[in-house]
Amino acid sequence: MKILFLDQSGKPGGAELCLIDIAKPYRDNCLVGLFADGDFKTLLEKNQIPVQVLTTQIIQVRKESSFAQGLASLEQLIPLLTKVVQTAREYDLIYANTQKALVVGAIASFLSGRPLVYHLHDILSPEHFSQTNRRIAVTAANRASLVIANSQASKAAFIEAGGRADITTVIYNGFDPQNYQTDKSIIHQTRQQLGLENKFVVGHFSRLAPWKGQHILIEALKQCPQQVTAILVGDALFGEQEYVQKLHQQIASLGLENRVKFLGFRSDIPQLMSACDLVAHTSTAAEPFGRVIVEAMLCGKPVIAAKAGGAIELVEHGINGFLSTPGKSQELAQMITTCLQEPEKTAMIANHAQTTASQRFDVKNINQQIAQQLLKKL
């Protein structure tokens, strides 16, 4: 099966990292077409996945864009569309991995006669998207042969926004559990390098953006015992510099300069997670899936996740992790403190999570599920 994958991003967010795992089995017979250059392209190349940047023009539509702004961007899309249609004719199927890719993919599917698959990585709710964007996404997605939603939460929001239930199926992100095994010596070395010996380290792994809620963890930290320290791993991928400044101000005003470290975007997530005592996920809006939650489990680390969206499907409170109310720093602080004070019970939960997540999210099974679905649509 020859697949043309489309993704609008040059930057490696969760959807893009997921696409690497999906495209790998097709690397001899696929092309990933990107609408922007950047580190994601380099990552695909490192994984020997054929990639081409299909346009160098920035498409101006943002998640909150209005209809008029959307229309203005159509003109920019024409050269890109022409290229995608031509390219699609050499492939059996178009697989759109992001919303702008979906819009381009839907038109290209119509013009080239190739079936369209849409991988939905978003919760199409008013919290995340303007009404116009939701309408465009749903209209385009309803033309697809198959919509793969990354969680029941994403599927439910899609249907609520007018999406077709009959073409939608849920397939979770897949992971290779082996990638999350880290030697004790490397863990020791990492903690040493970061100056984290004798600390209780809470890791936060996410791009820096207001809805990812790094500020909630900082607020919680102030209410935790002194040895609790946080590392914030991730960068402002989509221009949220103002939020980064606010985080620094918040840290200074709470006197937490010695207890929070910003590590920027990193590609050694398994090692860093393994060097933590706990991973916190603090999104204030419903998370569509939450890769970091599964990754923490695979590293054998206890995880506290914000109780909303896909996170609820991944975590059973007190069984394979902990769920805290989104935005409630006091509750989060209490949970972190309990994990610190009850290491044996916490480790048991983390071990159980590691075993079950290794099976439930095994990339081999997940890729098989996707392959079966794709074959049905050809």
Which residues of the chain form contacts with ligand UDP (CB under 6 A)?
A: 13-15, 17, 205-207, 233-234, 265-267, 269, 289-292, 295
The residue among 65, 59, 146, 159 whose CA lies nearest residue 104 is 59
Least distance to ligand UDP, CB of residue 14, Å: 2
Q: What is the DSSP code (8-state) at residue 289?
A: S
The residue number with the shortest CB distance to ligand UDP is 14
Rank residues 21 and 316 by Cβ distance to ligand UDP and give the closer one.
21
Rank residues 39 and 92 by Cβ distance to ligand UDP and give the closer one.
39
- Phi/psi at 360 (nearest 5 deg)? -65, -35
The whole-angstrom separation of Cα 24 and Cα 84 is 21
Q: Which two tokens stand for residue 44?
A: 């695909």
Element (H, E) at 358: helix 343-360
Rank residues 91 and 175 by Cβ distance to ligand UDP and give the closer one.
175
Rank residues 114 and 291 by Cβ distance to ligand UDP and give the closer one.
291
Rank residues 14 and 109 by Cβ distance to ligand UDP and give the closer one.
14
* Sheet strands side by side (includes 278-280): 260-264, 228-233, 200-205, 278-280, 303-306, 322-324
Q: How many helices (H) and strands (E) does the chain have?
A: 15, 13
Least distance to ligand UDP, CB of residue 305, Å: 10
For 156-177, b/e burial (b = at least 16 CB within 10 A) is bbbbebebeeebbebbbbbbeb
Least distance to ligand UDP, CB of residue 283, Å: 8
Rank residues 146 and 269 by Cβ distance to ligand UDP and give the closer one.
269
Least distance to ligand UDP, CB of residue 15, Å: 6
Least distance to ligand UDP, CB of residue 261, Å: 13
Least distance to ligand UDP, CB of residue 18, Å: 8
Instruction: Tell me the CA distances in angstroms from 350 to 48, 100, 269, 303, one per residue in order.
Output: 34, 38, 17, 8
Q: Which two tokens stand for residue 168?
A: 């939608």
